[in-house]
């Protein structure tokens, strides 16, 4: 959102690798502003063995980039 008004060409990538049978989130990857700050929190969930359904059941913080991790389909 920060780059909208300046019209800067900056992209953000967020990616989850999920096991289809157990639904466990095996990996989370991000390129974009504040990636380190965002992934630190996601890492707790991944370390605990959270499922994609549990990610999805978490309410996002809006407007943020981080909310993509709980809204992506």
Partner 1 sequence: MSYDYDLFVIGAGSGGIAAARRAAEYGAKVGVAESGRLGGTCVNRGCVPKKLMVYASHFPAHFSAAQGYGWSEVQSQLNWETMIRAVNGEVTRLNGIYQQMLEKSEVDICANHASFVDAHTLQVGEAQLTAEKILIAVGGVPVKPQSIPGIEHAITSDDIFNLQEQPQHFVVLGGGYIGVEFACILRGLGSEVTVITRADKILRGFDQDLRSEIQEAMQKKGIRFLNNTQDIALEKRDSGLWITVKNGIAETVTETVMADAVSLAATGRSPNLVNLGLDQTRVAVKEGAIAVDAFSQTAEPNIYAVGDCTDRINLTPVAINEGRAFADTHFGNKSRQMSYENIPTAIFTSPEAATVGLTEAEACDQYGDQKLRSIAVDFDRCTTPCPITTRKP
Peptide bond into 72 cis (omega under 30): no
- Give yes or no: 62 in active site: yes
**Per-residue x/- marks for partner 1, 12-41, CB under 8 A?**
xxxxxxxxxx---xxxxxxxxxxxx-xxx-
Token pair belonging to 34? 């504040």
Number of residues lying near partner 1 (CB under 8 A): 50
Report the alpha-carbon distance of residue 39 to residue 15 in Å, rounded. Answer: 11
First-to-last C-alpha distance (Å) of the chain: 21
Q: Examine residue 59 and tell whether it contacts partner 1 (CB under 8 A).
A: no
Q: Examine residue 70 and tell whether it contacts partner 1 (CB under 8 A).
A: no
**Considering the complex, what minimum distance in angstroms separates the CB of residue 6 from partner 1?**
3
> What are the catalytic residues?
62
């Amino acid at each position: 959102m920060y780059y909208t008004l300046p019209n800067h060409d900056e992209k953000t990538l967020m990616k989850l690798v999920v096991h289809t049978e157990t639904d466990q989130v095996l990996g989370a990857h991000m390129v974009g502003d504040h990636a380190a700050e965002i992934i630190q929190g996601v890492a707790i969930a991944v370390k605990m063995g959270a499922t994609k359904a549990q990610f999805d059941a978490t309410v996002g913080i809006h407007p943020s980039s981080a909310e993509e991790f709980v809204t992506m389909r």
